[in-house]
Chains A and B, each alone.
Chain A
Amino acid sequence: MSLMVDKKYEILNPRERFGLLVIDEKPDRCNIIPLITSHAAAVTGISLKDYYTNGTAMAKAQIAAIEEYGHDAISIFSEVGIIAEAMGSEFIYPDDDLPVLKKPALTGLKQTMDCLRQPDPKKDGRLPVYLEAIDYAYSAVGDKIPILAYVPAPFTTGMMLSDPNQFLLDTIKNPQRVKKIIEISLNAAIEFCYEIINAGGLPILVDPLASGSVISPKAFRDFALPGEQGLINFLHRYDFDVILHICGDTTPLLDSLILTGADLISLDRVDLNLAIQKLAKKIRIIGNFDTTKIGFGSTDEIAKEVKEMVRIGIKAEKGYIASTGCEVPIRTPVENVKTFISAAKEVGWYWG
């Protein structure tokens, strides 16, 4: 048996591959982690409601997706309101769709923060569902596959605790209130991360509502950034390499992203070459295939563009994970996802 790498034969499993990435080593090929979250429910044919209300069902769907697609991580996630719900916001659970915000915990301008409860991740809302999913997945496959648990960052949670429009308005008119909400959300997120870690999950931060598509760079720096920094600092105490995902157009925020302290940045609508140029010396890049294309494109188109993307991505100095810009749409054809992964595997090799 020689040391020559047969490109059709993967030497490492996802756990080993991710492990090398986070210590600045090049693995056999780039990690391939499209954001397969609720799409896993469609892969296994379970209802969405089952997926996001039953931890075991969520974990089993994720494991089935791994078996179907052969990508490199389990993603425990349903939607960004999970912490807000545990803190008092109410959500509707449609049978065939993800939870929708019905009534935020802070319904009035004058409502004080006292109504916000500091959630117990083992009891409140659907936080226990996540923990159960992590625990199940970790026991089942945790030796071979990283278990990523997506945690809404404080800014995003803050928006889910309030009327979103009012929250955005308050960033100008009542910034102290916004900062207070973010502080309380940060504490809740830290406690949630603490339990995620104890269950075996690696927390990754998602802050979609802090996107450049939603807020200005200044608002990002004043409000979203401190929340992200607080959570990342907490996770850095554990010596974790922290992933931060912000979807939408984060081009105006690229310079600020370095300030978050994140070790890996998951990008959406950003020119990959630009992102690599600005960030790749210090931060690993994740992304960033157009989710519309993976949801609705042809397999030929997907194959061609994924290869182009990965050929650029693997030049990122500190490392690269081939991914989608945001969550894979729930009803994405299985063939499309398979094409994404096989195309990335074809060109994403570092060894040999």
Chain B
Amino acid sequence: MFRDPKPQKISLSDWSQQFKLVGEEQIKKFTYYRNPEWGIYLSPPATFMVYGARELKRLKFDNSMASLRLWGFVFNESERLFRAKQIGKRVIATMGDLGTVPVIIMAFPHCIPFYPECIWWTPFFKESTVLLDVATEMGIPEAACFSKATLAAFYKKAYFPKPDLIFASTGASCDDYSCIMQQIEDLGYDPFWLEIPFRRDDLNPPLGGLRQEEYLISEYERVWNRMVELTGINDKNRLIQSIKKANRLRSLVANLKKLTYEASIAPLPALEMMTIEFGNLYGYADSDEWLNILEMVQETICNRVKQGVGVLEEDAIPIAWITPSADPLLLNLVEDFGLRIVETEYVINQALVPIEEDIESFRALARSFLKASLIGSTKERVKRIIDGVNNGRIKGVLITNMIGASHCAMETRLMEKMLSDVPVLSIDVPAPFGITEQLRTRIAAFTETIKNK
């Protein structure tokens, strides 16, 4: 029977060794969609590496059972989506809004929302330019953001099943996503377009904000009506329950972040934490099981915090990370250099904030969405980080950029200026398998700069 050893980050082969101790009953205990035949997901990283995720050979993972569950579940997502369709569930692609439309989808029985954009990590986990090359052959400019892998995935139909519906949110959001959604329509799919309004900042009267709320409410009503048409179910109580469930997840993740970022020693690595944050978008296609996994993660973190143990050194330098890295290896790397992430702005703020439960549901969803990272000003986006810098909690800031991503091109210099009280390192995430010695040197130098300040 496997029991959590002393916490540390371990390699894939270490996990294979550790996995020998995991009993059959533990393996069979955890399933998705409650299916014992193909729903087992507790596998070591080596399984997914053998099936082509080459970067796993170089990554380091937390060594707890909770993390093993987390990774097995997350890496299994592609299969899970296909299985969902095989057992009669409806698979709904939600694109562009990053966090709110899935809450509506999950109010309908047997409907599984997912974000095809999350495919942008696949070229990096696979250390492969296959999807990026196919996107280029399809006419997407080379200098476009890595999210272009999503288009190739739609074309190939091997990464997720043909969605029963596609909700494509566009508007005051990243241009790359919007352009990809248009290309997907050109492939013969039929997206249901939604409008994301622009969030007016505090300089303008509140009336501006109310107007945006009304726009969003009408859009969510359209989503609802389309889903009613698809499923034949029209029960607003289910939406209330879905919001409550989303809030349970959001609250759990908020607590995990608080525990992890405030502990004297980091109890969980940054890579797992990023994966946990992104789980808020849609629960990786089985939100019940995902919630269960996070409860186990919480227990692990609590135990570690209580024991005063963790995966990094106690003197690891606390930094903030802005914009998620498409290459997961970067998160390992910064920790190897003695840094520790204690605050993040991963463009998904709308998936992290609680949804009000004491007002009408669509209005509540609208208000939560209006806190989205990318629809307003840069100043608002980095406010939490500025606060962290001002109170001394954050000693440095790392910004990752994707060449061609419209918001990166426009925001990064501004953010550097706004956060100039601490050292700021801005990195262009290189193509898969592209992390160079030069990049490592820059991270090392950044660490030294913080130490010497």
Contact call B47/A240, Cβ cutoff below 8 A: yes
Contact call A200/B49, Cβ cutoff below 8 A: yes
Contact call B46/A143, Cβ cutoff below 8 A: no
Chain B residues closer than 8 Å to A138, beta-carbon distance: 54
Chain B residues closer than 8 Å to A222, beta-carbon distance: none
Contact call A1/B187, Cβ cutoff below 8 A: yes
Q: Does residue A202 face the partner (Cβ distance < 8 Å to B)?
A: yes
Nearest residue (CB) in A for B11 is: A198
* Cα–Cα distance between A198 and B44 once the two chains are bound (Å): 11
Q: Mark A122-153, 1 if CB is under 8 A from B, else 0.
A: 00000000000000001100111011000000
Q: Does residue A25 face the partner (Cβ distance < 8 Å to B)?
A: yes
Interface residues of A (CB under 8 A from B): 1-3, 11-13, 15-17, 19-20, 23-25, 27, 138-139, 142-144, 146-147, 194, 197-198, 200-202, 237-240
Contact call A201/B187, Cβ cutoff below 8 A: no
Nearest residue (CB) in A for B128 is: A143
* Residue contacts A-B, CB under 8 angstroms, 8 given: A11-B157, A15-B52, A20-B158, A23-B82, A25-B161, A139-B54, A144-B130, A197-B50
Chain B residues closer than 8 Å to A201, beta-carbon distance: 50
Contact call A200/B50, Cβ cutoff below 8 A: yes
Q: Mark B136-168, 1 if CB is under 8 A from A, else 0.
A: 001000000000000000011111010000000
Q: Does residue B411 face the partner (Cβ distance < 8 Å to A)?
A: no
Q: Does residue B259 face the partner (Cβ distance < 8 Å to A)?
A: no
Q: Does residue B40 face the partner (Cβ distance < 8 Å to A)?
A: yes
Q: Does residue B61 face the partner (Cβ distance < 8 Å to A)?
A: no
Number of A-B contacts (CB under 8 A): 83
Nearest first, the 4 A-B pairs at minimum CB distance are: A143-B128, A16-B158, A3-B188, A239-B43
Q: Mark B80-96, 1 if CB is under 8 A from A, else 0.
A: 00110010000000000
Q: How far does the Cβ of B23 sit from chain A's closest Cβ, in whole Å?
A: 10
Given contacts A16-B159, A202-B50, 14 further A-B contacts (CB under 8 A): A11-B156, A17-B158, A19-B78, A139-B54, A142-B52, A143-B126, A146-B52, A197-B16, A198-B16, A202-B51, A237-B43, A239-B43, A240-B47, A240-B50
For B, the interface residue count at a CB cutoff of 8 angstroms equals 39
Q: A13-B130, A16-B158, A194-B16 are in contact. Are A143 and B138 (CB under 8 A)?
A: no
* Cα–Cα distance between A12 and B187 once the two chains are bound (Å): 16
Contact call B187/A197, Cβ cutoff below 8 A: no
Chain B residues closer than 8 Å to A1, beta-carbon distance: 138, 155, 186-187
Q: How far does the Cβ of A180 sit from chain B's closest Cβ, in whole Å?
A: 23
Nearest residue (CB) in B for A194 is: B16
Contact call B57/A200, Cβ cutoff below 8 A: yes
Contact call A11/B155, Cβ cutoff below 8 A: yes
Nearest residue (CB) in B for A3 is: B188
* Cα–Cα distance between A3 and B155 once the two chains are bound (Å): 8
Q: How far does the Cβ of A112 sit from chain B's closest Cβ, in whole Å?
A: 28
Chain B residues closer than 8 Å to A24, beta-carbon distance: 38, 82, 86
* Cα–Cα distance between A339 and B157 once the two chains are bound (Å): 28
Q: How far does the Cβ of A115 sit from chain B's closest Cβ, in whole Å?
A: 27
Contact call A25/B186, Cβ cutoff below 8 A: no
* Cα–Cα distance between A17 and B156 once the two chains are bound (Å): 10
Of B27, B54, B188, which one neighbours A142 at CB under 8 angstroms? Answer: B54
Q: A2-B188, A144-B130, A194-B16 are in contact. Are A238 and B51 (CB under 8 A)?
A: no
Q: Mark B37-72, 1 if CB is under 8 A from A, else 0.
A: 010110110110111101001000000000000000
Q: Does residue B105 face the partner (Cβ distance < 8 Å to A)?
A: no
Chain B residues closer than 8 Å to A238, beta-carbon distance: 43-44, 46-47, 50
